[in-house]
Amino acid sequence: MRLQPESRPVFKFGSTRCPETVWTVLTTLEGTRRFMFGIGLESTWELGATITGSLADFEVASGEVLYVEFPNRLSYVLAAGPEQPEVYVTWEVRACGTGAIVGLYVDEPDTSAGEVESCWQPVVTALQTLLSDNPSWYEHE
């Protein structure tokens, strides 16, 4: 039975990093590993491209890029396996002053908004912390 759609959680935070730097963190293996608790996403990040999620040397997720608008919007779908439910993820990055506003929208069919929030809030918090720490590996500014 499919759950009735709820208002989906929207996660947003401000960053002092420019949209291009945020994009680098969102689209590199090293960046995604740092805020997705060890899971690195690899892709060419072009429309229709395959995404592979790995933890250590094991593939733990796969998906497809659904929309790309560098450096402002990235949408993709991920699943932990062929029989697992798909998760639709959209990152929006908007320039704001000398930094950016970062937003995450997640749609997990058959999952309550509360469950989505408990799964994704730690990811967003980790990304926010990563962007505020100033590691030199992602700096392109």
Q: Write down the CATH number for the domain with range 10-135.
A: 3.30.530.20
Residue 29 DSSP class = H
Whole-number pLDDT of residue 69: 98
User: 37 and 60 in contact (C-beta within 8 Å)?
Assistant: no
Per-domain residue ranges of the chain: 10-135
Which pLDDT value is given to residue 140? 47
Quote the tokens at residue 132.
């505020």
pLDDT tens for each residue of 28-57: 999 999 999 999 999 999 999 999 999 998
Distance (Å, whole) CA 45 – CA 71: 11
Q: How far apart are CA 135 and CA 10, in angstroms?
A: 26
Query: Which tens digits make up the pLDDT trace of 82-139?
Result: 889 999 999 999 999 889 999 999 998 888 888 999 999 999 999 999 999 665 555 5
pLDDT at 81: 86
More confident residue, 1 or 68: 68
**45: left (phi > 0), else alpha (psi -120 to 50), else beta?**
left
- CB neighbour class for 78 (10 Å; exposed up to 12, middle 13-18, buried from 19): buried
| d(C-alpha 141, C-alpha 124), whole Å | 22
Say what the pLDDT of residue 110 is.
85
Contact 14, 101 (CB under 8 A): yes
Q: CB of 128 within 8 A of CB of 15?
A: yes
